[in-house]
Amino acid sequence: MDEFMEAAIQEAKQGRQEGGIPIGSVLVKDGKILGRGHNKRVQDADPVTHAEIDCLRNAGRVGSYRGTTLYSTLMPCYLCAGAVVQFGIKKVIVGESRTFPGAKEFMVSHGVEVIDLNLDDCEQMMSEFIETNPELWNEDIGN
């Protein structure tokens, strides 16, 4: 597994340790992490602080997103996929989409290359969370 997905997984684990939802993300350009984040919806009582949004906020103003890659442990939802498209991020690498299919088709239809690594570690982390926290998970995804 590459170092950037490992960093996203560490963010997810940190979010879970904080009592939140275990989803992590990093933004990379030229082999360097520009920003990292994790889902803080629970911690911040903010429904839009998803991992990818937290990551982009932490990256700050980067000027152009040309040449960046966004890593996420889970397939981005429509909120986060919208940010990807809005900022012109052309590559997203995902840990898994078995527990949540997200908005892959939306991103692809807007010219984003989406690579799903289908990692067992990411799937297990989310499956365990969903099983033990179904109400919290369903709240987060709008069910």
The answer on pLDDT for 4 being more than 70 is: yes
Q: What is the dihedral of CA 99, 113, 95, 51, to 10 degrees?
A: -80
Point out the catalytic residue in the list 52, 96, 105, 128: 52
Task: Give the right CATH number for 1-139 from 3.40.140.10, 3.40.1210.10, 1.20.140.10, 3.40.50.740.
Answer: 3.40.140.10
Structure confidence by residue, pLDDT tens digits, 65-122: 999 999 999 999 999 999 999 999 999 999 999 999 999 999 999 999 999 999 999 9
Does 9 score more than 70 pLDDT? yes
Q: Is 111 exposed, middle or buried (0-12, 13-18, 19+ CB in 10 A)?
A: exposed
Asked about 139 being catalytic, the answer comes back as no
Q: In whole angstroms, what is the distance from residue 78 CA to residue 15 CA?
A: 21
pTM, full prediction: 0.96
Mean pLDDT of 59-63: 93
Confidence of residue 142 (pLDDT cuts 50, 70, 90): low
Domain coordinates in residue numbering, the chain: 1-139
